[in-house]
Amino acid sequence: MRTSDVWQGWTDLEKRLEFMAGLERRTKCQSCKLAAFCTGGCPAVNLYMTGNIYEPTTTDCHITAVYISLLHRKEKAVKAGAN
Protein backbone atom coordinates (compact mmCIF):
# COMPACT_ATOMS: atom_id res chain seq x y z
CA MET A 1 0.00 0.00 0.00
CA ARG A 2 1.87 3.06 -1.20
CA THR A 3 0.59 6.28 0.32
CA SER A 4 3.43 8.69 -0.14
CA ASP A 5 6.80 9.54 -1.57
CA VAL A 6 9.81 10.81 0.37
CA TRP A 7 10.31 13.71 -2.05
CA GLN A 8 6.68 14.60 -2.78
CA GLY A 9 5.04 13.85 0.56
CA TRP A 10 1.64 12.20 0.68
CA THR A 11 0.69 11.31 -2.87
CA ASP A 12 -2.60 9.72 -1.84
CA LEU A 13 -4.59 12.40 -0.01
CA GLU A 14 -7.37 9.98 0.90
CA LYS A 15 -4.89 7.74 2.74
CA ARG A 16 -3.42 10.79 4.53
CA LEU A 17 -6.86 11.85 5.75
CA GLU A 18 -7.54 8.28 6.87
CA PHE A 19 -4.28 8.26 8.83
CA MET A 20 -4.96 11.63 10.47
CA ALA A 21 -8.50 10.63 11.43
CA GLY A 22 -7.32 7.30 12.84
CA LEU A 23 -7.13 8.20 16.54
CA GLU A 24 -8.97 5.00 17.41
CA ARG A 25 -6.17 3.10 15.67
CA ARG A 26 -3.53 4.99 17.65
CA THR A 27 -4.08 3.07 20.88
CA LYS A 28 -1.06 4.69 22.54
CA CYS A 29 -2.61 8.12 21.89
CA GLN A 30 -6.14 7.52 23.14
CA SER A 31 -5.39 8.53 26.72
CA CYS A 32 -2.99 11.34 25.78
CA LYS A 33 -4.16 14.85 26.64
CA LEU A 34 -2.30 16.18 23.59
CA ALA A 35 -3.96 13.87 21.04
CA ALA A 36 -6.12 16.72 19.72
CA PHE A 37 -2.96 18.71 18.86
CA CYS A 38 -1.00 15.83 17.35
CA THR A 39 -1.30 13.94 14.07
CA GLY A 40 0.50 10.84 15.31
CA GLY A 41 3.93 11.43 13.89
CA CYS A 42 5.38 10.33 10.58
CA PRO A 43 3.88 7.00 9.52
CA ALA A 44 7.16 5.90 7.89
CA VAL A 45 9.13 6.61 11.07
CA ASN A 46 6.41 4.99 13.16
CA LEU A 47 6.53 1.83 11.05
CA TYR A 48 10.33 1.68 11.14
CA MET A 49 10.66 2.38 14.88
CA THR A 50 7.56 0.72 16.35
CA GLY A 51 6.38 -1.68 13.65
CA ASN A 52 3.02 0.11 13.42
CA ILE A 53 2.20 3.22 11.34
CA TYR A 54 -0.33 4.31 13.98
CA GLU A 55 2.04 4.18 16.97
CA PRO A 56 4.34 7.19 17.32
CA THR A 57 7.72 6.87 18.97
CA THR A 58 8.19 7.99 22.55
CA THR A 59 10.60 10.65 21.26
CA ASP A 60 7.90 12.07 18.97
CA CYS A 61 5.51 12.20 21.91
CA HIS A 62 8.04 14.12 24.02
CA ILE A 63 8.79 16.53 21.18
CA THR A 64 5.08 17.22 20.71
CA ALA A 65 4.64 17.84 24.45
CA VAL A 66 7.53 20.32 24.51
CA TYR A 67 6.28 22.07 21.36
CA ILE A 68 2.74 22.45 22.73
CA SER A 69 4.13 23.71 26.05
CA LEU A 70 6.21 26.35 24.26
CA LEU A 71 3.19 27.43 22.20
CA HIS A 72 1.14 27.88 25.36
CA ARG A 73 3.91 29.95 26.95
CA LYS A 74 4.19 32.13 23.87
CA GLU A 75 0.42 32.59 23.76
CA LYS A 76 0.39 33.69 27.42
CA ALA A 77 3.27 36.09 26.82
CA VAL A 78 1.54 37.63 23.79
CA LYS A 79 -1.70 38.04 25.75
CA ALA A 80 0.15 39.58 28.69
CA GLY A 81 1.93 42.00 26.35
CA ALA A 82 -1.37 43.03 24.75
CA ASN A 83 -2.79 44.21 28.07
Comparing 4 with 61, the larger pLDDT belongs to: 61
Contact 65, 38 (CB under 8 A): no
Instruction: Please tell me the predicted confidence (pLDDT) of residue 63.
Output: 92
Comparing 7 with 40, the larger pLDDT belongs to: 40
Instruction: Please tell me the predicted confidence (pLDDT) of residue 6.
Output: 59
Output the CA torsion 10→62→30→22 (10° steps). Answer: 0
Whether the per-residue pLDDT at 1 is higher than 60: the answer is: no
Predicted model pTM = 0.62
Interval 55-77: pLDDT, tens:
899 999 999 999 999 999 999 99
